[in-house]
Structure 1
Amino acid sequence: MRQRVMTLLVVFTAGCVSKQALTDRLVSAAQPAHLPLVVACWEKQIETDGFQSDYTASLDFTVEKKTSRILRARTRSVEPDDAQGRALAACVEEALARTTLPREADAEGPGFVMASDVEVRGYRIAFVGPKAETRERAAERQAHVLLGPRADRCQGLYQYAPPRDAATLSAELSERERKVDATASGDRDQHARELQKTYDTQLELRERLRLDAAHPDVPLPSQKRLLEAMQQVEQDARRTGALIRCEPPLSRR
């Protein structure tokens, strides 16, 4: 992945922690899985208006000391600056005002907590469509985080392009399946969310295995094993998909 230089001003009092290290920690923690209300703003717009354009919002906010609540969120700019963009920005401000970052790492990524308030200036969120070319355009805008619409959840909602490595995905899938089992007799909404996450990971792993098997340097015996593993994951995704009323999309050849 090409390294990008992004301007993000972080004002804080935090001992010997460097500003760059703090910025990296914040960007790692403030990702889509930890910003569900912000993601919901984009989903709502997609469902209401359809995909019209990709947007990039630049925001200022404060991360409260010890609690990691996001306070005083304000939009600096939104591109393009049209009626839909301004409505999206207003929704994002309200969503951030109701957001608290996790203080400790969880299954979705690292946490973030500081002993002093952290003032953030110019945090850029790119709201992009489901196609690869829209993500590439957003990447050129140097956003700190990409959010994509979940209007077609049956296509798989994973946000990594290309997919992560098979070992990472296999470990994550085991954890997802454990959570599905743990929530089976509890809250139905939580169980449905865990099923969706499991389905997403299965489709991402299927794509990773397909890409690995298609590599020209992979010997035939290894290619055969990869394709067999891909077929098994495909079957698992179909079983999970049936539980959330989804038919997995056809795998690319």
Structure 2
Amino acid sequence: MIDFYAVIPLLIVVLAGGAAMLAEAFRQPGERMPIAGLGVIGLVGAAAASCFLWNTDAQSYGAIRADNFALFINLILCGIGILTMIFSNDVVEREGLPAGEYYALTLFAIAGMMMMAAATDLLVIFIALEILSLAVYVLTGLRRSSAAGAEAAFKYFLLGAFSSAFFLYGIAFAFAISGSTRLDVIGTAIASGPGGTLALLAVGLLAIGFAFKVSAVPFHMWTPDAYEGAPTIVTAFMSTAVKAAAFGAFVRVFLSTLEPLQGHWVPVLSVISALTMILGTVVGV
């Protein structure tokens, strides 16, 4: 049972998403049902479970680690999710969005984000990344009558698949170095012989995958269309929760596993960060 503890917050959110889908399926036409309340209850439960696991450093099956950092990210995601649920009810009714699908996809995306921040294996991070990405792609184009929404979702999907390929190639190079996709094994292999070409390729490709998810320059081309075409509440969710999850996974991979190579990636990412802030500020104004 101890192996099960680390995934309890994640499972609570998944169950809440399933409950939202069932509630929509059994709702009579025209019947008002507080589906958002199911999401709030699930997220409050996940936050409570995260607090319960604080300082336990629980691990599940060698792939998920509920250390305090992952639990802190969980609490941030639960807070963002609760605010999203609270402010979504009027938006869903006003824009005629399918309520069950909207709330379920939002919860499934949060579950993927939690898994992404707590994963200790690159393949699990990739799976979590795809879970949250697929949910967000659909949320972007959820206004079925909106041509702009459909265009935004299509562009986001194509470019997202492109970035996922970079991330997967980065995993392949990391596996070539260490013979494993576990972060601790990869870190040990890199520490024993840092600076190799394969290691640098792995760092570069993984960085591209993360940079796309956080809209870092020059991988931000999808952002204006996606944010404009998506419902406003979805844009708010994308611009906060997705970034928090990507940051959590980035810290776990780069500041821990790839720390021996920081002399190579810190200068590059510093320049990218500066350009992202400058361009975002100038273009935003």
The structure richer in strand per residue is 1
Q: Give the TM-score, by structure 2 length.
A: 0.30
Return the TM-score normalized by structure 1. Answer: 0.33
Richer in helix (by share): 2
